Every structure is written in structure tokens, then in C-alpha cells.
A and B are shown apart, each in its own frame.
Chain A
Amino acid sequence: MTLSALILIPFFGGLLCWLSERLGAGVPRWIALITMSLVLAIGVNLWLTGDYSSVAGTGGLNWQVEEQYSWIPLLGVSIHFGIDGLSLVMVLLTGLLGVVAVGCSWKEINKNVGAFHMNLLWSLAGVLGVFLALDMMLFFFFWEMMLIPVYFLIALWGSSAHNGAVRVKAATKFFIYTQVGGLVMLVGILALVVVNYKATGQITFAYETLLNTHKLMSQELQFILMLCFFIGFAVKLPIVPVHAWLPDAHAEAPTAGSVDLAGILLKTAGYGMLRFTLPFFPDASQEFANTAMLLGVFGIFYGAFLAFVQTDIKRLIAYTSISHMGFVLIGIYSGNLLTLQGLAIQMLAHGLCAGGLFILAGQLYERLGTRDMREMGGLWARFTYLPPLLMFFAAALLGIPGTANFIGEFLILLGAFKVVPVLTIIATASLVLAGVYSLILIHRTLFGQPTSEQKLAELSAREISLVVSLAVILLVIGFYPQPLLNVSVDAMTFIQQTYAPADVSVPLPIGGAASPVAP
């Protein structure tokens, strides 16, 4: 029941938000906050009660909690949830950023508060479904379902800087990109099911059954289906040729929408690649790995360069996301335990860091009425708390040691070096660019000639506590990542062993019971 509760709580919480709007604008906010705190609490409870590093080394799947209900037996579809370390990390991130997203819209959203929170919570429910589903049809349902609320968030509550048409355009672009990607993936899913059906006579969408399907098909077919899955996830990650929706969507989304998008939605794609693309098509993925990593490196530089020239602060952060997702792609396709473990941290860190930056950008916008960095400058003198916080997050963005971002990038690069040394060296060079865009962000906003001497409204306790809590978590993971590594080790070992069994002989240097360096 726990796992369905994780999805049903935000779903019904959202409904309640909508219905309770007539009682006053405050009611939906509190309901949403309580709902997301509940989700976070359940996530933490799953963390504390589960044992996510028990089968390390054997390379088996380690579902801590599993639930299954009958749904459409005719098509072999069931409602099947399961949670392992990888899902848990993602669920924790979703719960945390969910709370933060509700918190940061407290003052920003003033029209149709109930409906706003309904959409926010429903999108989170969809995301949680994606992280928990173990049935491909169910997964696809959630994958598509989370788009609609996000579409509404952008189209109806988006930035007031432009008129509605611009917002709708951005939202539509986002929807069409991801939907078309999703349909390509649907073809992949169905083809997988049909291959399995033709070979075994059993029609099923179950994850664990389909894991063996790749043995039943030719190399070419495997490669094509892998591409179907890859395209579906690539659009969402996003990878450079199909990234065009991201900056627009971020620029037009409300703060909570941006936090939701950058922090959580992008991670569903990384999760999907790890959970589905690699284990479903291990051989084809290896064949494709070099191309994917090249795309990743290209994305890193492309994102970094474009981030540098942005004048809109939210667009700048959006492009840094593209850059960071390039690292994620390299991590995924390097496929040894080091990178995979680093990946879990990197995704978490990027979610928290981008979320924090978007919240700060939202707070700046609330006070200055602009997101254009050319009109900022000299803000250091006009605030007390905001500048150091912005500075901290900018530093985290460039991956300074002591923050979780450093751990993630470090592990990914360390692991990838064993596989593709040249590419890794090139990718490492991009860290300089990360420094450049982070510094230019700080430079343009905080330093220089202030446009006016007048002090701006100080951050409230709510705003400070939101951002500071994100910062603290980044620091804690940065200094002591071991608990998190222990959580993800089983799931990652499984992925690593299906993807690249040859690598098993290499000692596993981090995490869990298999670690030679015992914690």
C-alpha cells in the first residue's frame, strides 16, 4: 500500500486543493504543503526501513517494497510498483523539491491558487509514478500524464513578463516535443512486447520479463528499438539537437514550474535511461555508447557557451542544465559502477542546485520586476541575505569541492576516464567554462554599478529557510555522500552488470557491502 499511497496522496491532495479554494487562498497552500511533506516523510521512512545494499555483488534486482494489482489482464498490463535504491533517491528528491516548490509559490501565485496547486501536485504524482512503475504500460501512462499539469502550469501561471500567447507557445512547444518523443518510445515499448509475445506466446508489459527480450532479437532490431527508447528520453533530458523546448519552457514557467522541470522532470529521463534503455538493450547500448557520449560532450560545451551569452537569468540557468545533463549522459553510457554511483549523486545535486537557483531567480524577479541581468548589477549592496546565497549556489553549480555537485562530477569523470579517456579529458576542460558562466552570473547580478541605492525588500524567513535547507543538503552530501551511495549501490550494480558484465572483474571501490573500503 505504501507505494500506491505515494502516488495517491498527491493526487487526492491536489483534488482537495482545488475543492478547498473557496475556503480561502491559504487553505490550498497548506494542504499542498502537508501533502508533499507527507510524501517526503514516507520516502524517508522507506529509506530508514529498507535495506538497499544487501545483494550488492550478486547483481540481482533488489526491490524493497513491491505491489501488484490486476489492471488490463487482456493486454498483460498490471499496476505494478516497486522501489529500489535508484527509485528511492528519485522519490526523496521529488518529495523534497515538491515541498520547496509549494513553499516558493506561497506569495508568487495569487490567481486560482487551488487549481495551481492541483496541477503542481498532479505533475508530482505523475513523476512519482514514473519512478515507481514496473510495468511498461503503466510507466508510459505516468510518463505522459505528468506533461498535462506542467503544460497548464506554464500556460496559465507562467511569467507575466510577456502576454499569454508567448507562454502558451512555450508550453505547447514543450508538450509537442515530449509527446512526440513519448510516442516514438511507445513504438519501442510495443515492439519489445510484440517480440516477446511472438517468442513466448505470452503478452506482457512486465519489466522483469521484458528484461530478457533482448536475447530474442537480432542486433539490428535491438539497435532500432534502443534508439526508440533513447529518442523518447533524449527529448526529455534534453540532449542537444532536441533541446529547443527547454529554455523557452523555463523562461515562461512560474518558479515552482521551473523547480519542477529542472529539478525533477529532467531526472525522469536520466532515470528512464538507467532503468530501461541500458538493461533492455545492453548490446545495442554499448554499440551506441560512443555516439551518445559524443552527444553528451557536445551538449556540455553547447550548454555552457550558450549559458554564457544569456541575459535572462532563468535562461542562463536553463542552459547550464543542458550542460549538466551532458555529464549525466556520459555517466550513463560509461557504465561502470563509479560513474553510475556518481550519476545518482549528480542528478540529485543538480536537482537541488538548479532548484535553489531558480528560486533565487524568482525572488529577484519578485523584487526587481525583471529577469534581465543587464538591469541588475550591484545587488550586493541592496540585499543582506540573497547575495551570499546566490553566490553559494553559483559555486555549487560549478562544482566546487564540498558540495554534492563536486562528488557527482568527480565520480563520473573518474569512472569515465577508465572507459573513454580522451572524451573525459575534453569534458573535464568544460569545468573551466562552468566556472566562467557561474562567475558571470554572479558578476552581472551582484557586482558592478547598482542601478539605484535603494535597499530592496529583504528575504522573508520562509524564503531564507527554503533556500538554506537546499544549501545545507548540498553541503551534507558534499561532505558525507556515503549514506546515499549505500542506497543506490544495489540498483546501480544491477544496471552495471547487465550493461557491461565484462567490467565485473574491476574491483568495486565504493559503496555497500561489496566495498573493499568498508565504511
Chain B
Amino acid sequence: MNLSFETFLPLAPVILLSLTAVLVMLAVSIKRNHCVSYWITIAGQLAALVSIFALDGFAVDRVATPVTDLILIDGHAYFYGALVIFASLVCTVFLRNFIESYGNNKEEVYMLLLIAAVGGLVLVSSSHMAGFFIGLELLSVPVYGMVAYTHERSRSLEAGVKYLILSAAASAFLLFGMALVYAQTGTMLFADLADKLAEHGGYLAGFGIAMIVIAMCFKLSLAPFHLWTPDVYQGAPAPVGALLATASKLAIIAILIRFLGHITSDLTAVLQPVLAVIAIVSIAVGNFLALTQTNLKRMLAYSSIAHMGYLLIALIAGNSVDVVSANVYLLTYVVTSLAAFGAISALSHGGNALDAEEVNHYRGLFYRSPALAVALTLVMLSLAGIPLTAGFIGKFYIFMTGVTTSSWILLAALIIGSGLGLYYYLRVMVALYDRTGNSQADNVPAARASVAIVILLVVLVLWLGVYPQPALEFINTLH
């Protein structure tokens, strides 16, 4: 194979982000300066984002470009990649205010963030089991560090360790599954998988693929593999929670979509009912357990379990993955979740023992910080999937998938889940306007930059909800 500059050009975003990580490291070793590290991180991510557009990543006539056997870059990979970078960029801004008041070393968190983003980019574009595994680990390992970054808080440390152990277990599943598939088919390339599976079909490979899918369910915190989620979400610093809920989930969904597209239809037929049950159980578990939460982070964790269940419907309802629905849902979910965690981040400080995570912290927020309260109201409505917000458009597409494929049971789960979901979203929403005394409001001033970003995200939520045509058109032309 001829390796030239052109071969690696499509990888520009990955390379730029990696360079930025190195640069941050060097800057820290020369002189610790929070501001410098922050701006290098921002600039690097902006450059990576721009490079995707500069490469004409979304051109209609673009053909999928392989970069060695490990990576295959197409429009979808760039779309997910851009979303990953966007999410990590937003998290960077949230992190800054949060970490400012943190007593210990601050700068390394940006490095971890950048490495995780690189991992996400590799994961969404991998076309080979090795790329898959490397990307996944590169995405997960820095996040252990980030979750436990505020290790003075015992919850944070606990969450980090918990996430590390369970993630490692999932990775072991994944590796073993890959080994089994390889043992039977003799290939690690996604592209050859279908042919080889048809050729040497057998229980071993099927078992392997099931294990890979289970590992993915772990990472997506789908029930019954969800047990780590609430603790990790609660323990992680709010901006890291934002990263966990968005960039990490999104990259794994992306690779799952790609992977499912490459396995044979008789295997899909076996997987489908299992995944359908997982989707229904996730919707039920997520929504039921969220009902009684008084901790906003835990509530969002459970709600994310339910949301992943909804998203799974788009993946499994038909004979093939409904990529458009999944993409629309991902886009709306990422924007909304970022805003939700952003609101928590804006009121939280690394120097404090706890984040502003109890619902009581938000009681009467409207009278202290009206803009943030209105933004959070719209975020809750969007999570609940009420029209005129992005969440509705996402849910609408899932409904559309369910109806076109006549998956009535999944639709029923979706409807009941949405009904349950309203209860806890509305509860948070109305607390924002509650005028009764608020003992827990320590009147933390909301961080301005974070609030501004949250408002921008909410504008995006409204725009996607009111005039989704451009975004939908864009997603439809991806290939």
C-alpha cells in the first residue's frame, strides 16, 4: 500500500486533535496556566471542526475513503465526528468555569478531554475490529480519569473506579467476542464480515457477535446492563457528565450502526427480538426509576437509559437500521443533553463538595436567573419530546420508523414511556418557578460563559424544533 500525504488527509481532524493534546501537555510542562491550556484546547477543536468542512466532508459526491484497513471515512463518519467534536468543545467551555475553583491541578483535564475526543473520532470511522477496539479504549480510558478528576469528592472517586471496572468488564466481553468471530471467520474487516459469516456460519461467530453487542449495550447503559449509569452520572463532575451522556454515547451508537450494517440477515433476525426486549426493558426501567429521583443528575442518568431505549427502536424496528431516524434522534438528543448538563455545570463549582444536583437547588431559579430557568424549561420540554422543541422532531422520526415497520409493541412502549417521562420532567420544570422558600439555594452565581452556551444550545433546540427542514435535508443527503 502506498502511504502518502493524500492518504492521511481525510484524517486531518484526528491528527489536529492529537496534536492539540500534545501541545497542551507541552504547555503544562513549560508553565502551568489554566487560561493558556483552555484556549489551546478551544483552538485545536475549532481547527478540527473547520478541517472537516475544509475537506468537504459532507459533499454529495463524496465516496467513502479508506485510510489503511482500520479506518473508513464517509459522510456519516464525518457527521458523527463533527458532533463528537462539537460536544467536546461545548464541554470544554463548561469545564472551564467548573475547574476554575478546583484546588488541585486543573490543566490535565483538557488533555484527557482531547484524547477522549480523538478516541471518539477513531471509533466512528473504524472499519476493522482493531480500529473499533482502539477507538473504544481511547474514548473510555481518559473518561475514567475525568470522572474521578475531582477525587477529593468521595463520590467522584467511587464513580471513577466503578466506571473503570465495569467498562473493563465490557471491554473484555468485546475482545472475547471479536476473538470468537475471528476464530470462525478469519477476518477482522467489517466489510468481509457478511460474506465470511455466510460462508463459515456457525454458533461460535454468532456467539461472538452477541458478545460484541452486549458490550455495546453496557456502554450505552441499556437495561439490564445499566447499573453503573446513575452512580457514575452522579459522581462525575457535571461537565464530564455532559461528555459521557453525549460524545461517548453518540460514538458508540455510530459504530453500532456501522457494525450492524455488516452482519448477515439471519443473524440480525436472531438479534432483533433480543434487542427489542432490551429496548422495551430500558424504556421501562429508565422511566420508572427516574420517577422518584430528587437528584437531577441521577434523573438525567435514568432518562438517558430510556432515551437510549427509544433510539434502539430506530436501529432494530425494520429489517435494516433506519439510519436517518437514528441520526435525527442522535442530533436532537445530543443538543438537548448538552444543554441540560450545561445548566448544571453553570451552577456547579469544582471547589465545592457537591454539584448543584438536587432538584431543590433549582427551586425558584426563575427568580434568580431567569434566562437559565427559561432555558432549562425548554430543555425539559425537549427531553419530554414536546412539539416546537428538537426532542419532538427526534421522537417524531422514531414514531415514523415504528409506524412504517408496523412495530406496534415498540410503539406502545414508546408512548407509555413518554407518558411516564413527562412526570419527572414536569416536576423539575415547575420547581424552577416555585416561590416557596429554598433552603438549599446557596445563591451560587451562574457562570456567564456556560449560561451563554446553554442559551445558544437552547436556541438550537428551538430552531431544530420549529424549522427542522435544513437539518433534516442535511441528514438525508449524508451517505
- Are A151 and B426 interface neighbours, CB within 8 A? yes
Instruction: State whether the Cβ of A8 lies closer than 8 Å to any Cβ in chain B.
Output: no
Which residues of A (155-180) have their CB < 8 Å from a CB of B? 155-156, 164, 168, 171-172, 175-176, 179-180
Instruction: State whether the Cβ of A183 lies closer than 8 Å to any Cβ in chain B.
Output: yes
- Are A176 and B422 interface neighbours, CB within 8 A? yes
Q: Which secondary structure dominates where chain B touches chain A? A: helix
- Are B423 and A141 interface neighbours, CB within 8 A? no
- Are A194 and B403 interface neighbours, CB within 8 A? yes
- Are A156 and B430 interface neighbours, CB within 8 A? yes
Q: If the complex has contacts A144-B386, A175-B426, A176-B422, are A74 and B473 also in contact, measured as CB distance less than 8 A?
A: yes
A141 closest partner in B (C-beta): B387
- Are A191 and B430 interface neighbours, CB within 8 A? no
- Are A72 and B469 interface neighbours, CB within 8 A? yes
> 1/0 contact trace for A360-378 toward B, CB 8 Å?
0000000000000000000
Q: If the complex has contacts A74-B472, A74-B473, A74-B476, are A168 and B399 also in contact, measured as CB distance less than 8 A?
A: no
Q: Which secondary structure dominates where chain A touches chain B? A: helix
B399 CB contact (under 8 Å) in A71, A74, A180, A187? A187
> 1/0 contact trace for B432-462 toward A, CB 8 Å?
0111100000000000000000000000000
A187–B435 Cα distance when bound, in Å, is 38
Instruction: State whether the Cβ of A73 lies closer than 8 Å to any Cβ in chain B.
Output: yes
A75 closest partner in B (C-beta): B472
Instruction: State whether the Cβ of A419 lies closer than 8 Å to any Cβ in chain B.
Output: no
Residues in B whose Cβ lies below 8 Å from that of A148: 381, 386
> 1/0 contact trace for A361-405 toward B, CB 8 Å?
000000000000000000000000000000000000000000000
Instruction: State whether the Cβ of B419 lies closer than 8 Å to any Cβ in chain A.
Output: yes
A173 closest partner in B (C-beta): B423
Instruction: State whether the Cβ of A145 lies closer than 8 Å to any Cβ in chain B.
Output: yes
Instruction: State whether the Cβ of A429 lies closer than 8 Å to any Cβ in chain B.
Output: no
Closest-CB distance, B239 to chain A (whole angstroms): 29
- Are B430 and A171 interface neighbours, CB within 8 A? yes
Instruction: State whether the Cβ of B269 lies closer than 8 Å to any Cβ in chain A.
Output: no
A133–B396 Cα distance when bound, in Å, is 19
Closest-CB distance, A76 to chain B (whole angstroms): 12
Instruction: State whether the Cβ of A459 lies closer than 8 Å to any Cβ in chain B.
Output: no
- Are B468 and A72 interface neighbours, CB within 8 A? yes
Instruction: State whether the Cβ of B427 lies closer than 8 Å to any Cβ in chain A.
Output: yes
- Are A156 and B433 interface neighbours, CB within 8 A? yes
Q: Which of B387, B400, B403 is packed against the most chain A CB atoms within 10 Å?
A: B387
Number of A-B contacts (CB under 8 A): 76
Residues in A whose Cβ lies below 8 Å from that of B467: 71-72
Q: If the complex has contacts A176-B422, A180-B415, are A145 and B472 also in contact, measured as CB distance less than 8 A?
A: no
Instruction: State whether the Cβ of A184 lies closer than 8 Å to any Cβ in chain B.
Output: yes
Closest-CB distance, A147 to chain B (whole angstroms): 8
Residues in A whose Cβ lies below 8 Å from that of B336: none
Q: If the complex has contacts A148-B386, A179-B422, are A73 and B411 also in contact, measured as CB distance less than 8 A?
A: no
A518–B218 Cα distance when bound, in Å, is 75
A156–B436 Cα distance when bound, in Å, is 11
Closest-CB distance, B449 to chain A (whole angstroms): 26
- Are A141 and B430 interface neighbours, CB within 8 A? no
B419 CB contact (under 8 Å) in A71, A151, A156, A183? A183
Q: If the complex has contacts A144-B386, A145-B388, A186-B399, are A175 and B476 also in contact, measured as CB distance less than 8 A?
A: no
Residues in B whose Cβ lies below 8 Å from that of A172: 422-423, 426-427, 430
> 1/0 contact trace for A34-73 toward B, CB 8 Å?
0000000000000000000000000000000000000111
Known contacts A74-B473, A75-B472, A187-B411; 10 further A-B pairs (Cβ under 8 A): A71-B469, A72-B468, A111-B435, A141-B388, A144-B386, A145-B386, A148-B381, A176-B419, A179-B418, A180-B415
B binding-site residues for A, Cβ under 8 Å: 381, 386-388, 392, 396, 399-400, 402-404, 411, 414-416, 418-419, 422-423, 426-427, 430, 433-436, 467-469, 472-473, 476
A to B CB contacts below 8 Å, 21 in the list: A72-B467, A72-B469, A72-B472, A75-B472, A141-B387, A141-B388, A145-B386, A145-B388, A148-B386, A152-B430, A152-B433, A156-B433, A164-B436, A172-B423, A179-B418, A180-B416, A183-B399, A183-B418, A184-B415, A187-B411, A187-B415
Which 10 residue pairs across A and B have the least CB separation, nearest first?
A180-B419, A190-B403, A141-B387, A144-B387, A183-B415, A72-B469, A155-B430, A176-B422, A191-B403, A74-B472
